[in-house]
Amino acid sequence: MTTPARRLILHLVSIVIGALIVVPVLFGVLGGFKDNGQLAENPLGLPDPWVVGNYTGILASGVFWRQLANSTLIAVATALAVVGASAMAAFVFARFAFRGREALFTLFAAGLMFPFAVAILPLFILLRSMGLLDNPLGVILPQAAFGLPVTIIILRQFFRTIPAEVEEAATLDGCSPAGFFWRILLPMARPALATVSVLAVVASWNNFMLPLVVFTDQNWWTLPVGVQAFQGQYSDDTARVLAYVVISMIPALGFYAVAERQLVGGLAGGVKG
């Protein structure tokens, strides 16, 4: 079907668009190896000589590692909280009949339409009154709460596909609902749990507005807040900021490389769900 000429055109189009994606990033990577003089004279070419000071300086300073640790802690805790709470809720939504179930489910599903930006101001006031400013829980709990709708929808979908016979067999063997949930349903749902966990981690990792308003203490800053602050602080030192941006991209891209399947599958499946 595909002629060689046509294949060539397809490749050319893909390569051009791929280049539009890659070149800005490559500019960042190479720019980080230049000094500002080089960047001004030669923004496009290879560094000459290669300056490693920008990268090594950042890696040696500890600020980056601290922000990396904060982002990781918050992302993992958010994922645990949202997946745990959602799995429990999705379990009863999928396998129990009770009055008000659909209304309650609709309430959660409607949460998909509540933009985060709408709630941020009262959320901030609420967190302030609960003493959760400059506390990681002040970011973790709201992120988990806003992650509930999509997680519950995906998990309920999946839990419904597990045959009723499995549950009946478990019950006959004397399994309580909690036992069935913990010992049978969750292990069987591992792929779905992986997907929603990956989605939760990425969402938390990239969140900016909430950590921005919750953390005034620099020691709690996450990577997005840190990158933005670094740019503000070193706005004249383009090469150094480029190095910081590039380093901060690495964990996200590394995670993408590892979890690509779950991420892409989760998004594609989310459309149907």
Partner 1 sequence: MLTTTVPAALQTRGRRARPRAGRLATVAVFIAPALALFLLLVVAPILVAGYASAYKWNGFGLPENFVGLDNFTRAFADPTFRGDLWRALVLIGLSLVVQLPVALGLAMLLNQPLKGRGIYRLIFFAPYVLSEVTTAVLFTLVFSPNRGLGDGLARWLGADAGTVFADPDTVLFALFLVISWKYFGFHMVLYLAGRQNIPRELTEAATTDGASSWQVFRHVTLPLLGPTIRVSVFLSVIGTIQLFDMVWVLTGGGPIHSSETMAVTMYQYGFRRFEVGYASAISIIMFVLSFAFALFYQRVIMRRDTEGAITTKGVQR
Classify 221 in phi/psi space as left (phi over 0), alpha (psi -120 to 50) or beta: beta
Residue 251 C-beta: closest distance to partner 1, Å: 10
Residue 22 vs 59, nearer CB to partner 1: 22
Judged by beta carbon, residue 66 or residue 252, the one nearer partner 1 is 252
Structure-block tokens of residue 135: 């506390």
Considering the complex, state which of residue 26 and residue 60 has its C-beta at the smaller distance from partner 1: 26
Nearer to partner 1, 43 or 57 (CB): 43
Three-state secondary-structure class, residue 230: helix
Shortest distance, position 52 Cβ to partner 1, whole Å: 19
Report in angstroms the alpha-carbon separations of 51 from 56, 63, 236, 239. Answer: 10, 21, 17, 10
Query: Could you tell me the smallest distance in angstroms from the CB atom of residue 146 to partner 1?
Result: 6
Peptide bond into 49 cis (omega under 30): yes
**Residue for token pair 């919750």:** 214
Give the separation between CA 133 and CA 248, rounded to whole angstroms.
Answer: 25
Shortest Å distance, C-beta 56 to partner 1? 20
